[in-house]
């Protein structure tokens, strides 16, 4: 809560200062175009894509150059269609596969004609046929990459422990974090008797979210936890583990609370059942909203440097963007910690034993 309040306070103070300093400044020609371009770039940065672009630039002749590599596009459209995303040329061309044409519209694949026609309805939504997309997008590629990285690092650590030797390199730095998750998160919330069966998941979800969030702060443009489908999948895993490992005492307190008059039990049972669904929903929204807000605020402040173009606004924007980048490093670890802590808390509630009152 303090983190959210401090972030809002910083943004509010910045907006007040810049508004006061530049209230009397005349609007330059083309300023509206710059603001529109910045908004479009932020929206594009937050979206997933079918290629991995590291950076781009415009030549003197006006040609856009992209530095990166394509990813495989896998579609199901009356059969399996597999081709490289390089055929789209970053959304500027139409891809032809087995006589069918496909184009990108807001980073989504639609079936079209040779000219790449996209028809829109009254709500500006495409009416073109949208094939089932199983493509390896930038987010999917990053998830695979982080998964392989974690498997490599932790498997080497496990081999070291089997031979009764201490891990070296990065493993030595990760060991205190693993012990902290065990001793200060898992054991206090779940209990010494039952925490071990949840430790693999708690360690996996903590390091996965943490590493993914750190990659989101790099120029790679990776925003995995900014995708609500990813946070939903993580929250559902916590929900299913809580539901299918819960004991009778857990379900008894939901459907037939002890020590409560039976008319109130009938009223409270649906509310308690709804609470089991709200818990993973809060996990999903908390992680998604904090990461998305951080990216939007940070990139908006960076964009102000291109709007002000003077000796006061640009250095101020750069300094504030640098300070928020340091704050985002803390948020990256904090969100991983909160997700892991709440998951352990839900597991502990599910396996808590009944204690008779004497």
> Residues 170, 313: one domain?
yes
Domain final position from 93, 115, 136: 136
> Residues 225, 114: one domain?
no
Look at 16-30, 34-48, 160-174, 288-302 and tell me which has the smallest mean pLDDT: 16-30
> Residues 246, 346: one domain?
yes
**263: Cβ contacts below 8 Å, ≥ 6 apart:** none
Q: What is the pLDDT of residue 69?
A: 84
Q: What is the pLDDT of residue 9?
A: 40
Determine the average pLDDT of the residues in 23-50. Answer: 63
Q: How many domains does the chain have?
A: 2
> Residues 326, 232: one domain?
yes
- Within a domain: 340: yes
- The better pLDDT of the pair 234, 222 is held by 234
HEC string for the chain? CHHHHHHHHHHHHHHHHHHHHCCCCCCCCCHHHHHHHHHHHHHHHHCCCCEEEEEEEECCCCCEEEEEEECEEEEECCCEEEEEHHHHCCCCCCEEECCEEEEEECCEEEEECCCCCCCECCCCCECCCCCEECCCCHHHHHHHHHHHHHHHHHHHHHHHHHCCCCCCCHHHHHHHHHHHHHHHHHHHHHCCCCCHHHHHHHHHHHHHHHHHHHHCCCCCCCCCCCCHHHHHHHHHHHHHHHHHCCCHHHHHHHHCCCCCCHHHHHHHHHHHHHHHHHHHHHHHHHHHHHHHHHHHHHHHHHHHHHHHCCCCHHHHHHHHHHHHHHHHHHHHHHHHHHHHHHHHHHHHHHHCCCCCCC
Residues 212, 332: Cα–Cα separation, whole Å: 8
Name the pLDDT band for 18 (thresholds 50, 70, 90): very low
Domain final position from 76, 105, 136: 136
Q: Please name the residue that has the structure tokens 């672009």.
A: 53
> Residues 284, 221: one domain?
yes
Look at 161-165, 225-229, 244-248 and tell me which has the smallest mean pLDDT: 161-165
> Residues 206, 174: one domain?
yes
- Within a domain: 48: no
- Within a domain: 299: yes
Determine the average pLDDT of the residues in 220-229. Answer: 84
* Verdict on whether the full-model pTM lies above 0.85: no
Domain final position from 88, 114, 136: 136
Winning range, highest mean pLDDT, from 29-38, 58-67, 213-222: 213-222
Name the pLDDT band for 20 (thresholds 50, 70, 90): very low
- The better pLDDT of the pair 216, 182 is held by 182
Name the pLDDT band for 131 (thresholds 50, 70, 90): very high
Q: What is the pLDDT of residue 149?
A: 93
Is 75 exposed, middle or buried, given 0-12, 13-18 or 19+ CB atoms closer than 10 A? Answer: buried
> Residues 104, 82: one domain?
yes
- Within a domain: 96: yes
> Residues 339, 325: one domain?
yes
Q: What is the pLDDT of residue 310?
A: 64
> Residues 248, 274: one domain?
yes
- Within a domain: 155: yes
Q: Above 90 in pLDDT, residue 143?
A: yes
| Closest by Cα among 104, 143, 336 to 223 | 143
Average pLDDT, the chain: 81
- Within a domain: 305: yes
75-122 pLDDT, tens digit per residue, is 998 889 999 888 888 778 899 898 899 998 888 899 999 888 899 888
Residues 344, 339: Cα–Cα separation, whole Å: 9
> Residues 161, 86: one domain?
no
> Residues 187, 209: one domain?
yes
Instruction: Give the percent of the chain with pLDDT over 70.
Output: 85
> Residues 147, 130: one domain?
no
Name the pLDDT band for 32 (thresholds 50, 70, 90): low
Q: What is the pLDDT of residue 234?
A: 95
What residues make up the domain containing 117?
57-136
- Within a domain: 246: yes
Q: What is the pLDDT of residue 14?
A: 39
246-286 pLDDT, tens digit per residue, is 888 877 777 777 777 777 777 777 887 888 888 889 999 99
């Amino acid at each position: 809560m303090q983190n959210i309040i401090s972030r809002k306070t910083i943004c509010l103070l910045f907006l007040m200062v810049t508004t006061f300093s530049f209230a009397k400044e005349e609007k330059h020609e083309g300023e509206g175009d710059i603001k529109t371009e910045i908004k479009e770039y932020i929206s594009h940065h937050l979206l997933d894509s079918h290629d991995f672009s590291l950076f781009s630039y415009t030549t003197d002749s006006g040609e856009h150059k992209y530095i990166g590599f394509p990813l495989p596009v896998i579609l199901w459209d009356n059969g399996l269609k597999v081709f490289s995303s390089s055929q789209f040329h970053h959304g500027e061309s139409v891809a032809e596969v087995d006589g069918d044409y496909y184009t990108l519209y807001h980073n989504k694949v639609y079936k079209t004609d040779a000219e790449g026609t996209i028809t829109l309805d009254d709500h500006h939504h495409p009416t073109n046929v949208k094939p089932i997309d199983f493509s390896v997008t930038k987010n999917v590629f990053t998830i695979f990459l982080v998964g392989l990285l974690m498997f490599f690092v932790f498997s080497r650590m496990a081999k070291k422990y089997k031979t009764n030797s201490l891990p070296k390199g990065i493993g030595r730095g990760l060991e205190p974090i693993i012990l902290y998750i065990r001793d200060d998160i898992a054991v206090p919330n779940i209990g010494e008797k039952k925490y071990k069966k949840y430790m693999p998941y708690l360690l996996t979800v903590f390091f996965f979210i943490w590493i993914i969030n750190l990659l989101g702060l790099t120029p790679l443009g990776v925003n995995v936890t900014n995708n609500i489908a990813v946070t939903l999948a993580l929250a559902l895993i916590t929900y299913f583990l809580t539901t299918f490992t819960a004991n009778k005492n857990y379900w008894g307190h939901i459907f037939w609370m002890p020590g409560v008059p039976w008319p109130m039990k009938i009223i409270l049972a649906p509310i308690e059942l709804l609470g089991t669904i709200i818990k993973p929903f809060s996990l999903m929204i908390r992680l998604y909203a904090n990461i998305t807000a951080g990216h939007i605020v940070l990139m908006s402040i960076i964009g102000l440097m291109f709007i002000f173009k003077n000796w006061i606004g640009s250095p101020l924007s750069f300094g504030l963007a640098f300070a928020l980048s340091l704050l985002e490093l803390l948020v990256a670890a904090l969100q991983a910690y909160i997700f892991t802590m709440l998951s352990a808390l839900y597991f502990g509630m599910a396996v808590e034993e009944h204690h008779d009152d004497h």
